[in-house]
Chain A
Amino acid sequence: GAGVSQSPSNKVTEKGKDVELRCDPISGHTALYWYRQSLGQGLEFLIYFQGNSAPDKSGLPSDRFSAERTGGSVSTLTIQRTQQEDSAVYLCASSLVAGEQFFGPGTRLTVL
């Protein structure tokens, strides 16, 4: 059906608040990825879900970041106690196993 969707498209929050970013992958895609695109760091991998396997969290920058994927479909990225350096565009991608990754439009997070 439709491509990868993400919500919200823009989020402005105050330092110290928690935020939740949502990703709806393409139906049937078993793999889901979160990336972050920021001015200073470019595009960085955050976390990877594949089917029912334990997620690869090796890219998460701190323990304030977490993600879950419910029912093998929708994923939520949570950032606790946001800091100004968390300001970035958060991108979600999905794929079939070892297939092309399709990217969503991203959520632009601004931490004031």
Chain B
Amino acid sequence: AQSVTQLDSHVSVSEGTPVLLRCNYSSSYSPSLFWYVQHPNKGLQLLLKYTSAATLVKGINGFEAEFKKSETSFHLTKPSAHMSDAAEYFCVVSAILYGGSQGNLIFGKGTKLSVKP
């Protein structure tokens, strides 16, 4: 079975400082991993996805994540936080169906990012 664990429910950073949101995964197969962002009263938006092509994945708005199989981690980073980055971030793994195809998404509990001026 697949699962993800987000290690921090809330992260607070100052504008202009680096962002690190931590995620560990568990999967019996080579996983497909994602980060989604949800701004207040807005829908879920895909930030980036890992599908085994490259371990360092670049996403939108300057975010990137590195897949580390030895550590079963997929942490999200950004060099310099912006006020507009304040949102909730979800680490997500895709369920693997019988036959190997991808199915529904399995979400972590979320990390709320606050950005102080």
Q: Which residues of A contact B (CB under 8 A)?
A: 33, 35, 42-45, 48, 56, 59, 91, 93, 97-98, 100-101, 103-106
Q: B70 to chain A: closest CB distance in Å?
A: 27
Inside 8 A of B103's CB, which chain A residues have their CB? 48, 56
- B residues near A, CB below 8 A? 42-46, 49, 90, 95, 97, 101-110
Q: How far is the CB of A49 from chain B (nearest CB, A)?
A: 11
The answer to whether A33 and B104 touch (CB under 8 A), given A42-B109, A103-B43, A105-B43, is yes
**In the complex the two chains form, what is the Cα distance from A101 to B108 in whole Å?**
16
Closest 5 CB pairs of A and B: A43-B107, A45-B104, A103-B44, A98-B102, A105-B43
Say whether chain B's binding surface is mostly helix, strand, loop, or mixed.
strand
Residues of chain A within 8 A (CB-CB) of B45 are 103
List A contacts of B101 (CB < 8 A). 97-98
7 A–B pairs (Cβ distance < 8 Å), ordered by A: A33-B105, A43-B90, A56-B104, A100-B46, A101-B46, A101-B105, A105-B42
A56 to B98, CA, bound (A): 12
Instruction: Compute how far the CA of A103 lies from the CA of B109 in the bound complex, rounded to whole angstroms.
Output: 18
A28 to chain B, nearest CB (A): 18
The reply to whether B44 and A91 contact each other, CB–CB distance below 8 Å, is: yes
What separation, in Å, do the CA atoms of A86 and B103 have in the docked complex? 24
Write out the residue numbers on chain B whose beta carbons fall within 8 Å of the beta carbon of A59. 104
Q: B49 contacts which chain A residues (CB < 8 A)? A: 100
In angstroms, how far is the closest chain A Cβ from the Cβ of B91?
11
A45 and B106 contact, CB distance less than 8 A: yes
Q: Which residues of B contact A45 (CB under 8 A)?
A: 95, 104-106
Give the chain A neighbours of B109 by CB distance below 8 A: 42
Supply 10 further A-B pairs (C-beta < 8 A) apart from A42-B110, A93-B44. A35-B107, A42-B109, A44-B107, A91-B44, A93-B105, A98-B101, A100-B49, A101-B46, A103-B44, A106-B43
Nearest Cβ distance between residue A3 and chain B, in whole angstroms? 8
Q: Can you name the residue of chain B whose Cβ is closest to the Cβ of A106?
A: B43
Residues of A within 8 A of B43 (CB): 91, 103-106
**Please, how many angstroms separate the alpha-carbon atoms of A67 and B106 in the complex?**
20
B89 CB to nearest chain A CB (Å): 12
